[in-house]
Structure 1
Amino acid sequence: MPDKGAYAFVPLSRADYPMMRGWLAQPHVRAWWGDPEDEIALIEADMDGHLAGTGPTDMRIVTLDGAPFAYVQDYPAHHWPMPHYAGFPPGTRAMDTFLGDPAHHGRGHAAHYLHQRAADLRARHPAVVIDPSPANERAVRAYRRAGFRDRFTAPCEDGDPVIVMEFDAAAPAPSAST
């Protein structure tokens, strides 16, 4: 497993859209994210707001030794109506992510880059949360290894159940064997 410093979080640019479309079309991503063109349209709207100084979402391509392989974003948990985050303090950041390149599956990368990113966010915010579907067992396992702890299961904004997980700032970085 590479040193944690080998992961970098590069701001998403429009030049990344073809790669993002390819990742979003992968079966392992498509199972949990929407149609690639719909997702790109949402990203575009966030990008326009971000560039105009009004967008709340920080969108990043995760690289390993300079090679892109995943996507992660974070945003204010209370910016959109997300009732499952209502009990968290103002300033809480929510995260979403996917590992785009299937060649990186099963190697512990998600747990490692998520721990690195969540620890950085937690140093600046009162809480960092994530909300996987209980059916997305692979993601739930990775989030737990990254240091996220289950808080409760609740319906999200569309009524589907999610596991609300909060990053534990005291959680150690995942070991090389995870």
Structure 2
Amino acid sequence: MSASERYTFREVTPADLPLLAEWQLRPHVRKWWDTAEPFTAQKLKDTRVKRWIVETTQRPFAYLQDYSVHGWEDHHFFSLPKGSRGIDQYIGEADMTGKGHGPAFIAQHLKALFEAGVPVVATDPHPDNTRAISAYKKAGFEVFGSSQATQWGLILPMKVSSSS
């Protein structure tokens, strides 16, 4: 594994549900992540969303999901080019925050998505989540539009394209 690929992404399985539930109870995650809809084995079957446990040195420490922005006709990123993906993530282990892991594993995942032919990746942090916005900007995302209310809450639209 090269220094630029120091993270592994393994698909979430039902065996990971207790870990995700534990992470979602932690204050630093709960502040920004909707815990009203916990992960279930049934949700893992939704093919519109790919869910990943992020590991470094064989330690699971974060969750990342990428999804088809065209999987929901009323999605706020539906107008992006065909094949575009959205991403969301959080670092579940508090001792791993503030150390540059977020921008690094996001950038590594973006590289894999672009190599697979994805034209644009978008994300939608809460406008007050300055840590997430900073991490996304470090990974190459740019704001495209103003804050807006969606069915998933208040968001700041951000995106990065494969040609960036």
Q: Same fold (TM over 0.5)?
A: yes
The 2-side partners of 1:89 and 1:48 are apart by 25
Aligned to 1:3: 3
**Once superposed, which parts of structure 1, at least 4 consecutive aligned residues long, lie more than 4 Å away?**
none
**1:154 shift after superposition:** 4.3
* Equivalent residue pairs, number: 162
The letter for the 1-side match of 2:97 is H
Aligned to 1:48: 45
**1:153 shift after superposition:** 2.1
Aligned to 1:152: 145
The 2-side partners of 1:24 and 1:139 are apart by 16
Task: Deviation per CA, 1:122-152: give whole Å up to 9, x if none.
Answer: 2321111111110111100000011111111
The letter for the 1-side match of 2:130 is E
Task: Deviation per CA, 1:76-133: give whole Å up to 9, x if none.
Answer: 0021244421331111100111010001011000000000101211232111111111
SS of equivalent residue, structure 2 residue 54: strand
**1:12 shift after superposition:** 0.5
Aligned to 1:122: 114
Gaps of 5+ in 1: 50-54, 172-178
**1:163 shift after superposition:** 1.3
Gaps of 5+ in 2: none
Shift in alpha-carbon separation, 1:93–1:159, aligned structure 2, 3 A: closer
Aligned to 1:112: 104
Aligned residues of 1:150 and 1:164 also touching (Cα < 8 A) = yes
Matched, 1:87 2:79: yes
Give the % identical residues. 30
Query: Please, what TM-score do these two structures have when normalized by structure 1?
Result: 0.83
- Bigger helix fraction: 1
Shift in alpha-carbon separation, 1:82–1:157, aligned structure 2, 3 A: farther
The 1-side partners of 2:72 and 2:147 are apart by 16
SS of equivalent residue, structure 2 residue 23: helix
Q: Please identify, of 128-137 and 84-93, the stretch whose mean Cα deviation from structure 2 is larger.
A: 84-93
Q: Please identify, of 138-147 and 154-163, the stretch whose mean Cα deviation from structure 2 is larger.
A: 154-163
Query: Please, what TM-score do these two structures have when normalized by structure 2?
Result: 0.89
Q: Please identify, of 94-103 and 146-155, the stretch whose mean Cα deviation from structure 2 is larger.
A: 146-155
Which residue, 32, 49, 53 being the options, matches 1:57?
Answer: 49
The letter for the 2-side match of 1:23 is W
